Amino acid sequence: MAEAGLRRQADLSRATGVRPTELGKLINKRRSPKNEDGEWVVSVLRIAEFFTCLPEELFSEPERHALDKDRIRAETHFEEMRAMLLEQQCAVLTDPVTLAETRELRTALEQAIGTLAPKAQQVLFSYFGLAGPELTLDQLATRFGVTRAHLKFVLARAISTLRRSPHSLRILEAAGIDIMSVLWR
């Protein structure tokens, strides 16, 4: 910024036309510089245009790696995924004890989640990928038309409710988690 004659964040905001709040969110990493489709958001493109560089050049190597993490995960080859899933399914299907434990865990989890409000259920299922792909809080906020902070609150309240649920001990037992170690944390 100093090379461009800018001393403060406000100077950069005026020079690029990016609102100060948006710029602050990007700088403080409270907003992703990429949208759900993995494309750069308009504000990042404006900043890159101002500095006459590529958008990725605005970020350090570790930051670029973190941004590409989702893309790398999405680029896993279909055949590898299919082989891995097939292997997991075969292991579960051939071991009756594992199959019974999985059913017991799923039943206990469904009963516990069934006690939550419908919105909390949807958020929980979507965030943890229980019924489809995992979604980020930003993606969920867009889907539900609420703020990320509100969804964080809904998610925290749902998890807290599940922890206090009478089903929580059954879930822990079915998952093979030592109940005493959880109680004494």
H runs (alpha helix) in the chain: 9-16, 20-27, 42-50, 61-74, 78-94, 96-113, 118-128, 137-144, 148-164, 168-175, 179-183
| Neighbouring residues of 131: CB distance < 8 A, sequence distance ≥ 6 | 125
Round to whole Å and give the CA distance between 154 and 21: 25
Average pLDDT, the chain: 75
| Neighbouring residues of 144: CB distance < 8 A, sequence distance ≥ 6 | 119, 122, 123, 151
pTM of the model: 0.41
Output the pLDDT for position 145: 92
Is pLDDT larger for residue 21 or for residue 166?
21
Grade residue 76 by pLDDT with cuts at 50, 70 and 90.
very low
Which whole-number Å values give the CA distances from 150 to 73, 147, 154, in the listed order?
A: 27, 5, 6
Q: What domains are there in the chain, each with its CATH number?
A: 2-74 (1.10.260), 96-183 (1.10.10.10)
67 CB-side CA count, 13 A: 22
What is the percent of the chain where pLDDT is above 90? 4
Round to whole Å and give the CA distance between 59 and 33: 10
DSSP state of 107: H
Cα torsion for 55, 56, 60, 65, to the nearest 10°? 140
Round to whole Å and give the CA distance between 130 and 153: 19
Predicted confidence (pLDDT) per residue in 89-130, tens digit:
666 555 666 667 667 777 777 777 788 888 888 888 888 777
